[in-house]
Chain A
Amino acid sequence: MEVTSNQFKQEASKALRNPVLQKALGHIEEGFVEARNQAARRLPEFEQMRDRARDIKAHAIDNLGFYLSQFEDQVIAQGGQVHWAADAQEAREIVAAICLDQGARNIAKSKSMVTEEIELGPYLEAKGLASVETDLGEYIIQLRDEKPSHIIAPIIHLSKEQVSDTFYEHHQKHGYFDKLTERSALVKQARSVLRKSFMNADVGITGANFLVAETGSVVLVTNEGNGDLVTTIPDTHIVVTGIEKVVPTMDDCHTLLRVLVRSATGQDTTSYVSFFTGAKRPGDAAGPSNFHVVLVDNGRSDMVGGVNHDMLRCIRCGACLNHCPVYANIGGHAYGSVYPGPMGAVLTPQLAGVEQAIDLPNASTFCGKCEEVCPVRIPLPSLMRHWREEEFARHLTPKPMRFGLGMWSWLGRQPALYRVVLSMVQRVLGLFAKRGWVKHLPMGTSWTLYRDMKAPKGGSFQQQWRRR
């Protein structure tokens, strides 16, 4: 996975100074945080349901091989095909081969984070297989040649005006020459442009939210209904998804759907929940004749039994992003990965290599809000801490930090010297203080560029206590 996560600091700094982005991020609180919290309050058994959801996913991951092969058998029994992709390259090749085999000219895609992860779009394009994103947000991202900045709300970073400019620039070739200002007008225009892509598509590509082992069903939630259109008109439906999406039964799937949607958008359910089970049968009114499921591993099976095992429970709801105070202030692009925020801070180092994403597990205050809201109770701060340990062990921790931590830890075991150093530090702070406040500290500008510090006085607590 290509990432630019090692530019985190610079990008975060830019994000903090970008007024358009800051305004756009302001919608997260009302649109997602409040909505999720209200949804949780409306459902008295929500917390118990989260426990169930955690247990279902944990069980499925512990028996991954079993449920995946059950799923495969069921898909085949329903007239579909299953393809196993060990990594991103294999996955891309499999999808391209199916498209070429079908003589595809028009490919319609619905939103899928796994296709972002494996960078499917650019690969298909290079093979002359252009695909159109049909989720409104992803479509706008595609026109702007950007990456999504949120796993469920890809254009959370954009303003209405930016979308208007983008449509004005790209829709003239479709015969639209007016600059639109109303949200509803923008949606309407996108709908009529996209309608053509749906009608002409010969291959539809979707992701999956869940794979149901007992029935071989692929389950997809959307609010726009594009998932259904992408799969009913074309004769070929390709599902590209991660192996961790499998759950044992339809009942399990329903429990997960209930926590997923509430955690994601605060809705009780999405406008559309689609179940795709196999290829078109004789007598079916519609549906694809060719039904393919590409199961992508791409580093996931390496996580089984390892320190990041629990991360395989993730159902990509985005709650940890929405509720993260860091994400809420810098947005998703600064993370330099399609998986941003707390879940990305765990997944990105796993998928791209921790040396490619040194900042991500560190750019958290460990406030624990992500773990508090995660529907499947993934201990995200502990997993980030594992990465910090890995970085420390591999000497990837910045040298001054490593040195400072080492000194402080050593000092902590020399109580006499510790007391001397504490009173020295107090004295130094006193020297720099004016009327009791330190406003500039040459060796502490990380602090004093942004805040003052009240100078302590009278010696350390322990000194004063003994003197009492």
Chain B
Amino acid sequence: MAEASTKGKRVALFATCLVDLMRPNVGFAAARLIEDAGYQLEVPEGQTCCGQPAYNGGDRAAAVAAALYTIDVLSGFDYVVLPSGSCAAMISRHYPTLFEKGSANHDRAVALAARTFELTVFLADIAKTELSSSSTIGAITYHDSCSGLRELGIHDQPRKLLSAMEGVTISEMKNPDTCCGFGGTFCIKYPEISSRLAERKASDIVQTGASTLVAGDVGCMLNIEGKLHRQGSDIKVRHVAEILADMVDD
């Protein structure tokens, strides 16, 4: 049976607060990828933060408030796509746990969860995009962000999309799935431990000889990039969307 095409449907891009603040270019790259895949893209007004810091910081009431707010902002779309595994997991895995089963809010959270996807999952598994783009980036190495990998099972999708591009070769690092030490507020609460984890990650990256580190979460990127730069490395750190859209901003 042929699957009905999802093309032409309305997709909301939830940029995430870190993209909004630290890496606007990732938002533009994600938007282009979704549009090029044949969807009607919108960036819903009023979007802010998914509430993950409060949720993981133990402030459940604030997490519930953030979830309710975000559920409103993202209502009425066929799909919600995020260029972040951890924020996508917050919405699709954790929002439903914030409300009592059977309540109207629980139903709404479950409905939103069902149509929310991380960007590479959306492109590879829903849109089934065949990228024909190319890049001059050369050898890259890919870091698996923890939430994306373990909560959403994102592993093959970015690799499949990236390796389909002309001019991109993936050189895997030792332990691509080991945490970089970002961990949201962890990097502020336990900076020394976080830094050690980042050092280990940086050394695994350097050993691949790749000139670019690619990841799917801006949090990990900031941490790894900050450590590499402090060490004097000129390895570039890019979001997977920036490579896929061939939109690198410097």
CB-contacts of A400-457 with B (<8 A): 401-402, 405-406, 408-413, 415, 418, 422, 425-426, 436-437, 439, 446-447, 449-454, 456
CB-contacts of B158-211 with A (<8 A): 177-179, 181-198, 200
Given A12-B192, A365-B181, A385-B58, are A462 and B65 also a contact pair (CB < 8 Å)?
no
Instruction: Report A353-384 CB contacts with B as 1/0, cut-off 8 Å.
Output: 00000000011111111011000000000000
Contacts of A182 in B (CB 8 A): none
Contacts of A306 in B (CB 8 A): none
Contacts of A425 in B (CB 8 A): 21
Say how far A434's CB is from chain B's closest CB, in angstroms.
12
Our pick among B46, B58, B230 for the contact of A450 (Cβ within 8 Å) is B230
Check B27–A447 contact: CB distance below 8 A.
no
Contacts of B56 in A (CB 8 A): 366, 385, 388
CB-contacts of B56-85 with A (<8 A): 56-60, 62-63, 65-66, 69
Instruction: Report A27-58 CB contacts with B as 1/0, cut-off 8 Å.
Output: 00000000000000000000000000000000
Q: Flag the segment in B107-115, B119-127, B130-138, B219-227 that touches A.
A: B219-227
Check B62–A405 contact: CB distance below 8 A.
yes
A238–B186 CA distance with the chains assembled, in angstroms: 44
Size category, B interface = 35 or more
Tell me, yes or no, whether B53 is within 8 Å of chain A by CB: yes
A415–B66 CA distance with the chains assembled, in angstroms: 12
Check A412–B66 contact: CB distance below 8 A.
yes
Say how far A440's CB is from chain B's closest CB, in angstroms.
11
Interface centre among B23, B69, B188, B193, by most chain A C-beta atoms within 10 angstroms, is B193
Q: Which residue of B lies closest to A459 (CB)?
A: B24
Contacts of B3 in A (CB 8 A): none
Check A412–B51 contact: CB distance below 8 A.
yes
Check A325–B179 contact: CB distance below 8 A.
yes
A402–B61 CA distance with the chains assembled, in angstroms: 13
Contacts of A267 in B (CB 8 A): none
Given A325-B178, A452-B230, A461-B27, are A446 and B57 also a contact pair (CB < 8 Å)?
no
Tell me, yes or no, whether A392 is within 8 Å of chain B by CB: yes
Contacts of A16 in B (CB 8 A): 192-193, 196
Contacts of B178 in A (CB 8 A): 325, 367, 369
Contacts of B147 in A (CB 8 A): 366, 368
Q: Which residue of A lies closest to B146 (CB)?
A: A367
Check A422–B20 contact: CB distance below 8 A.
yes
Check A369–B27 contact: CB distance below 8 A.
no
A125–B19 CA distance with the chains assembled, in angstroms: 60
Check A389–B58 contact: CB distance below 8 A.
yes
Contacts of A408 in B (CB 8 A): 49, 53-54
Check B179–A365 contact: CB distance below 8 A.
yes
Q: Which residue of A lies closest to B223 (CB)?
A: A451
Give the A-binding residues of B (Cβ under 8 A): 15, 17, 19-24, 26-28, 31, 43, 45-49, 51, 53-60, 62-63, 65-66, 69, 146-147, 149-151, 177-179, 181-198, 200, 222-223, 225-227, 229-230, 250
Tell me, yes or no, whether A458 is within 8 Å of chain B by CB: yes
A393–B61 CA distance with the chains assembled, in angstroms: 10
Check B60–A389 contact: CB distance below 8 A.
yes
Pairs A–B under 8 Å by Cβ, sample size 30? A16-B192, A325-B197, A325-B200, A326-B193, A364-B186, A366-B183, A367-B179, A368-B151, A388-B57, A409-B51, A409-B54, A410-B62, A412-B48, A413-B48, A436-B250, A437-B229, A447-B187, A450-B230, A451-B226, A451-B227, A451-B230, A454-B22, A456-B22, A459-B24, A461-B19, A462-B47, A464-B24, A464-B27, A464-B28, A465-B43
A452–B233 CA distance with the chains assembled, in angstroms: 12
Tell me, yes or no, whether A391 is within 8 Å of chain B by CB: yes
Contacts of B28 in A (CB 8 A): 461, 464-465
* Extra contacts besides A368-B149, A447-B226, A456-B24 (4): CB < 8 Å: A366-B146, A409-B66, A461-B20, A462-B20
Contacts of A405 in B (CB 8 A): 53-54, 57, 59, 62, 185
Check B179–A13 contact: CB distance below 8 A.
no
Say how far A44's CB is from chain B's closest CB, in angstroms.
20
